[in-house]
Amino acid sequence: MADGGDEPEGPEELSNEQKTEIAKWFLTNAPDGEIQYVAKDVRTIIGNDEIYEMAATEAFPVYNKAHFVALQMPDGSGDVLITTYGELDKNTYLDPRTAQVATVDHVKQVCTKLRPANDEELPSPYIEEFRSSLDAELSKYVAETYPKGTCAIYCTKGKDTEGPGADFELVVVICAAKHSPQNFCNGSWHSIWTIEFKDDLQFVEVKGQIQVGAHYFEEGNVQLDAKNECKDSTILQSPEDCAISITNIIRHHEAEHMASLEVSSSILSRFYFIQLVQGIVLSVNFLVMQASYVNLPDTTFKDLRRKLPVTRTLFPWHNTLQFSLTRDITKELGIGK
């Protein structure tokens, strides 16, 4: 029979490996533009620099590539995007526009040095003609559409093709961000376009993935994650004509995605996402989004919040249209003053 004076056993201490994995999870799942804030808190909570640095060394590269982080190059020639498409090894990334290779510090999120790209790291002159023509046309579109937007075009297949008669593939990455932590909101726009040039069919297939994310955290934690996939095609023409056609396809589908958001959620318009996304994209007519957003499925907004918040009070989903994010929800749930 146990002695009545025995003390109950406390919780088992986590191993260093478990602490590292937990820290990595928090870092890799940080919202766009917020990993440095999360890292500061994680480091404080862990209280062990060695464990933190192990976690950060593994987590930051994953985060930077997932969020297409853009780092300014030391020579001021532009930004290099941290993507799997331009990754040469774990710390070096190709900037196809300037034909330079950037060495980056993932944890500090800075570009430390540059070198000219080697011939084997670049596509053939034939492929480069298509790539550079599309880059020039697409750069004009991005400059007109996204404040501080960045784009890059990589050859992912057939880069050694010397002339007509073989297939090849380009990948377009477009990213833009609006970080305003002082106003408790951050947001991002990412789109990836896979361009398959099929020489035998004289055909170009375009596949796109668009993702819009937003995080509003004033007296709460609400996130938007809107994704869309699309597909289109055009005929294989000269590099200049292909560039115009492909850019028009991208412009059309990105504008269409914005229009679909426009009619999908009047709920979110009351929760300030509109103001955030307006800061990301200018010329897709975002101003009309403030008045719309009517038909968002109930499950989408429910997924933005926990089933049972820390107040232990269920959220009244039947009446969401009457709330603003802080004032009205606080009043309805009877929390705070």
pLDDT of residue 314: 60
Q: Is residue 333 included in any domain, yes or no?
A: no
Q: Do 147 and 186 belong together in one domain?
A: yes
Residue 150 located in a structural domain: yes
Residue span of the structural domain in which 252 resides:
123-260
In a domain, 243, yes or no: yes
As a whole number of angstroms, the distance between CA 167 and CA 108 comes to 39
- CATH code at position 240: 3.90.1150.210
Burial annotation 145-165 (CB, 10 A radius, 16+ → b, else e)? bbeebbbbbbbbebbebeeee
Shared domain check, 175 and 107: no
What are 226's two structure tokens?
Answer: 């809107």
CA distance 329 to 305: 13
Q: What is the DSSP string of 291-315?
A: G------HHHHHTTS-SS-TT----
Contact at 8 Å (CB) between 288 and 261?
Answer: no
Phi and psi angles of residue 143, each rounded to the nearest 5 degrees, phi first:
-65, -35
Question: For residue 104, what is the domain's CATH number?
Answer: 3.30.1140.60
pLDDT of residue 291: 33
pTM over 0.85: no
pLDDT of 262 reads 66
Predicted local confidence at residue 281, as pLDDT: 47
What are the 10-residue block averages of pLDDT along the chain, 337 residues in total? Answer: 56 86 94 92 93 96 95 92 95 96 97 95 96 97 90 96 94 92 87 96 96 83 86 96 97 88 52 47 37 42 52 58 54 56
> What's the structural domain count of the chain?
3
